[in-house]
Amino acid sequence: MVQERTVDAAVIGAGQAGLSAAYYLQRRGLVPGPGFVVLDANEGPGGAWRHRWDSLTLGSVHGIHDLPRSALGTPDPLEPASSVVTRYYGSYEAEFGLQVQRPVRVLKVFNPEGTGLLRIDTGSGPWHARAVINATGTWDKPHWPRYPGQEEFRGTQLHTHDFRSAADFAGRRVLVVGGGTSAVQFLLQLREAGAHTVWSTRRPPEFTAAPFDTQWGRSVEHRVSERTRAGLPR
């Protein structure tokens, strides 16, 4: 028989956003269990980070923002970010007693008439809640643009989501599409692994010698926000 459970708030997703939301629900007096529940589809902690490839070490990411009231500290920069973040989020869940329910995939959220509660259908039975916080991120549904001829192309096609190791491409010709950090890191690793690379970006890449610090980050963020608010491409 499927158990039905009722809470004040349900958080869907236990990545950075979901854990932060859970922390603040608790701080406002909601208790894990009757007050709120965190439902997460993953087998273990870490959100999207637990799926990232091994060569993405902590030293090669931009930096992991601390969760509320718990500092990440200074782990080994050579350790894969996936294991650092999985460990960090796992101990956070334990420290604050968040009781994340997993693996629980939410299939549907809807508003049945007359109950005043939202109904959350999951792979392991329904939940009911007064409020739902959707913190599911983008990793499970990555943006993958369509290109003319894509269906006929016989070579391997993959998204960042499915990258595992540059060694998989040794001796092959590889087109890397995109102008962000992941693309640059892929190009460097692919070349070292013996692949022949071609890089495609929408406009010429802009490299900067500015120090990669908080001030620079804020200024980039500010310019992106301004363009977004003005309805311009980011």
Ligand X SMILES: Cc1cc2nc3c(=O)[nH]c(=O)nc-3n(C[C@H](O)[C@H](O)[C@H](O)COP(=O)(O)OP(=O)(O)OC[C@H]3O[C@@H](n4cnc5c(N)ncnc54)[C@H](O)[C@@H]3O)c2cc1C
**For binding to ligand X (CB under 6 A), which residues are involved?**
12-18, 39-42, 47-49, 52, 61-65, 105-106, 135-137, 139-140, 160, 182
Choose between 16 and 189: whose C-beta lies nearer to ligand X: 16
Q: How far is CA 26 from CA 14, 45, 65, 80, 137, in A?
A: 15, 19, 20, 31, 21
Whole-number CA gyration radius for the chain: 21
Q: How far apart are CA 132 and CA 38, in angstroms?
A: 10
Choose between 29 and 96: whose C-beta lies nearer to ligand X: 96
User: How far apart are CB 154 and ligand X at their closest, in Å?
Assistant: 27
User: How far apart are CB 136 and ligand X at their closest, in Å?
Assistant: 4
Choose between 33 and 217: whose C-beta lies nearer to ligand X: 217
User: How far apart are CB 20 and ligand X at their closest, in Å?
Assistant: 8
Choose between 14 and 166: whose C-beta lies nearer to ligand X: 14
Choose between 135 and 190: whose C-beta lies nearer to ligand X: 135
Q: How far apart are CA 224 and CA 9, in angstroms?
A: 32
Q: How far apart are CA 170 and CA 99, in angstroms?
A: 44
User: How far apart are CB 151 and ligand X at their closest, in Å?
Assistant: 25
Choose between 182 and 197: whose C-beta lies nearer to ligand X: 182
The residues, any chain, with a CB within 8 Å of residue 119's CB and separated by 6 or more, are 109, 110, 111, 112, 126, 127, 128
| Torsion angle of C-alpha atoms 169, 174, 180, 186, degrees rounded to 10 | 20
Q: How far apart are CA 1 and CA 8, in angstroms?
A: 23
User: How far apart are CB 202 and ligand X at their closest, in Å?
Assistant: 18
User: How far apart are CB 25 and ligand X at their closest, in Å?
Assistant: 15
